[in-house]
Structure 1
Amino acid sequence: MKIHVLKGFIQNIFLVEYPDKCMLLDGCSKADFSTLADFFERSLKRPLSDLKVVVVTHMHPDHAGCAHFLRHKTGCKIVSCDKQTQWYSGLKGRLAHLIDIALALWVAGKMNRPKKNIWYPPHLRPDIALSDQQTIPGFEEWQVFETPGHTDRDLSVMHMPSKRIYIADLIVRVKGKLSPPFPVYKPKQYKQSLLKLQALQTRSVMMAHVGELSLTDSDFAYLLSKAPLKPKTNKLAIQKMIKSKLFKTRLQS
């Protein structure tokens, strides 16, 4: 088993390779399809149809954006958290979907990435829905753990023999330091997810926006100290920004 790390549109792509099959540890961005296709053809020297499973850890554009398209192109199975509702449900959900796409494009601009189409369906149609500690069909060495907080349905995926775990956006890096992500919709669950990750005593942690590191108890203590006590969401951030601008306008008038 090999784990390849590719530079995606705005995130790291972790691709698991076996002699007879491959698995993506996340659904990538729609803009990452050509990167994946080229890597299979030029580096792996094998057809893209060898991709058998795509895990979707949560529904943000850089983690779910290419899942349906990859299934259409390869026939792969989509694995996600076992949730009865859609993350982007209802009118508010559709608005949140548009905002998240806009934020992903803003991040891409900050990273000097070329403009690309990253539109993707707001509703996920998984083939396999897994709950905490279940293994991935066809990849039984890999076990999923529910680690919500960033959203209500975040999954982490661990290779049990090597104790290497992919945690998507559970931890990011801000100004050179490990940090909780933004947004955090479920602050209490986020802290519990950090404690669960620490208790697993993994050899290394693979992060979508950081890379692969070995985390120490002091790292976890710092992250827990920085974990928000109240939800930090896009909606609240926008409301705060509008109030701040209105307040400045009143002071100037």
Structure 2
Amino acid sequence: MQIHRLQGYIQNIYLAEQTEGLLLLDGCSRADVRMVCDYITNTLGRPLADLKLVVVTHMHPDHAGGAALLRNITGAPLAAHPAARHWYSGLAGRTAHAIDVGLTWWVAKRLGKPRRHIWYNPILSADILLQDEQSLPGFPDWQVICTPGHTNHDISLLHRPDGQLYVADLIVQVRGRLVPPYPVCHPNQYRQSLQRVAELQVQQVFCAHVPPQPAAAIDFASLLAQAPAKPKNHWHSARNRILHYLGRRDSAH
């Protein structure tokens, strides 16, 4: 098994190549689809039909935005947690989806990237629903590890034979330091997920926004200490700003 790391629009993309075929460890963004297809055909010299499965670890634009289009082009089925379909449902969900697309453009601008077309259907129609600790269909060496907290449906993917783990956005990097992501919608679950990953004692950790790390180099105790005690997301940030403004106005009177 060989893992290829591709530089996506705002994130790392990981493509596993093995005898069973090609496995895309996350659905990337819509802006990445052509690059992923070109890599398969031109760099690896393989037909697009060799892409046998696309996993969506969670529904944010840089992890799910390209999934449906990749399925249309390659025929590869999509696999995700059962709750992924409902993440952006309803008026509040559609509002959050629009905000997340805007945040993706903001990150791209900070990285010096142009604005690209990244809009996608916020309601995922997965072909395969994934449960905790099951093996990936067609790729029995890969195991699903549920690691919620960033959202309510995050999953990580463990390659059991050599202890390589893809954790998507469980860990990010700010000014060279490993920190919890934004948002953390479910703080208690996030802490449990960090603890669970630490206890897996894997060899290598792959992240969407951090270069691959030896697991021994990750200070999980520091990450747990930095993990928020209360939710950190769009709604709570907006609420806190409003309350802060109202408090300042009342004190001025």
SS at match of 1:83: helix
Structure 1: 5+ residue stretches without partners:
none
1:126 corresponds in structure 2 to 126
SS at match of 1:224: helix
Contact 1:14 1:25 in 2 (8 A): yes
Distance 2:108 2:240 in 1: 23
Closer, same or farther: CA 201–51 of 1 in aligned 2, 3 Å = same
Q: State the shift of 1:90 in Å.
A: 0.7
Structure 2: 5+ residue stretches without partners:
none
CA-atom RMSD, angstroms?
2.0
Contact 2:203 2:216 in 1 (8 A): no
Deviations 1:150-197 (A, max 9, x none): 000000001010110000000001111000000000000000000100
TM (norm. structure 2) is 0.94
Closer, same or farther: CA 217–6 of 1 in aligned 2, 3 Å = closer
2:83 corresponds in structure 1 to 83
Runs of 4+ aligned structure 1 residues displaced above 6 Å come to 245-253
Contact 1:198 1:217 in 2 (8 A): no
Identity of aligned residues (%): 48
| One-letter code aligned to 1:153 | H
SS at match of 2:83: coil
2:138 corresponds in structure 1 to 138
Contact 1:27 1:63 in 2 (8 A): yes
SS at match of 2:119: coil
Distance 1:204 1:84 in 2: 26
Contact 2:20 2:138 in 1 (8 A): no
Q: State the shift of 1:46 in Å.
A: 1.2
Distance 2:107 2:245 in 1: 22
| One-letter code aligned to 1:59 | M
Structure 1 stretch displaced more, 213-222 or 134-143: 213-222
Q: State the shift of 1:211 in Å.
A: 2.0
Q: State the shift of 1:89 in Å.
A: 1.1
TM (norm. structure 1) is 0.94
Structure 1 stretch displaced more, 77-86 or 223-232: 77-86
The question of 1:69 aligning with 2:69 is answered yes
Q: State the shift of 1:82 in Å.
A: 2.7
1:154 corresponds in structure 2 to 154
